[in-house]
Chain A
Amino acid sequence: MSKTTGRAFENKKLVGELFTLTYGALVSQLIKDYEKDDEVNKQLDKMGYNIGVRLVEDFMARSNLGKCQDLRETADVIAKVAFKMYLNITPVVTNWSLANDEFSLILENNPLAEFVELPERHSDLSYANVLCGAIRGALEMLQLEVETWFLKDALKGDTATELRVKFIKKLTDALPAGED
């Protein structure tokens, strides 16, 4: 965290906690509405997708980055710029597959699940599934179709949270002119 004056730091922390609280309220309401963990996961992914589709424009407007040349660059930008900008964390990019089309983002501490403990009856719930949807939605707007899922979840007893991203294909049908 950057060094800020006492007051500003307090304010940032409070806003961060409000965010965590809001997300928790959202997940609990979804559980009440849909009951099955599977359904809730699907809904979280859908919501994440809608967020990602809009957030990507904000990201491009603020970061002034051009197109990435390959998946490695994309992964770096997601981890070092995007996650840093929006959640103030920098996940580590690892576990590249042999064909270089799959990678993992290791999140040391997930700000969405800061105060959360997952009970036994919701062991199938991907609590932070909205992140998967957001990455999928954002990359789809940039003509990259990917599949995202959680490999490991700190809430389910693993040491850290691992988000896997797999490249499916480049979407060439709706390519804006000049991008190839």
Chain B
Amino acid sequence: MTVFSVYVVNKAGGLVFQYDHQKTSIELEKTFSYPLDLKLEPQTDYVTVVFGQQDGIKVGHVILSVNGKPANGRKLQDGSDVMEFIENEKNYPLNIRFGRPKLSSNQKIMMASMFHSLYAISVQLSPESGSSGIQKLETDTFTLHCHQTVTGVKFIVISDPKQVGVDSLLARLYTIYSDYALKNPFYSLEMPIRTELFDSQVVAAIEQTEKVGS
């Protein structure tokens, strides 16, 4: 009964707006003593858990903060390397917060353009001519709804599989786009939308959909 995120993609496939509506993201904090029984591995953007699941900390979770200091990729905010800090016995006992990694904005832009291409491919795949593209993509944990307007703008909503009323949310998003983005003279077409009015209207629309949906 939740809407996870909203994407707006322009005619050319570029991401114009993105919003993540997540009320609770699972984060686990735990105190550890030397030696650490989780196996960690540094990746390009994060330090991930690769072995040693325990207490809800799963493989794939990344380090979000150490001793309260937020981790910025592989380094802490004060510049020290996360792996070195953890391997040093003198720093124990220490407190590490784990959680699922969030998509970076570059990754989101890539996903949006990939979906744009998949949408075009799906039109070609159809045995009938004049078919629409992907309207719904279902998995066991989420459903992706997409509505393409006649002008080529795509509104994508990723929601819980049980969420109802997403069609009206998509229509409402189109109205909000035509009002708060297009009627703003300072907004150039096809560019990213960075206005607070638009953001707050989208949030209000999502919250209304969640309330109405059973």
Contact = CB atoms under 8 A, between A and B. Distances in A.
Contact of A176 (B148, B171, B179, B183): B148
B150 A67 contact: yes
B178 A177 contact: no
B132 A178 contact: yes
Interface string B164-190: 000000010011011100110000010
Given A177-B119, A178-B133, A58 B151 contact: no
B32 to A, nearest CB: 51
Please classify how large the interface on chain B is, using the bins under 10, 10 to 19, 20 to 34, 35 or more.
20 to 34
A56 B151 contact: yes
B180 to A, nearest CB: 11
Given A54-B182, A54-B183, A58-B179, A178 B189 contact: no
Interface in A21-72: 53-58, 60-62, 64, 66-67
A177 B131 CA distance: 9
A66 B150 contact: yes
Nearest to A57: B178
Contacts of A179: 150, 152
A82 to B, nearest CB: 14
Contacts of A180: 129-130
Contacts of A175: 152
26 contacts: A54-B182, A54-B183, A57-B151, A57-B174, A57-B177, A57-B178, A58-B178, A58-B182, A58-B183, A60-B150, A61-B171, A61-B174, A64-B171, A66-B150, A67-B150, A141-B151, A142-B151, A176-B11, A176-B148, A176-B150, A176-B151, A177-B122, A178-B119, A178-B130, A178-B133, A178-B148
Which 9 pairs of residues, A with B, have the shortest CB-CB distance? A176-B152, A177-B120, A58-B178, A54-B182, A57-B178, A61-B174, A178-B123, A61-B178, A177-B123
Interface of A: 53-58, 60-62, 64, 66-67, 141-142, 174-180
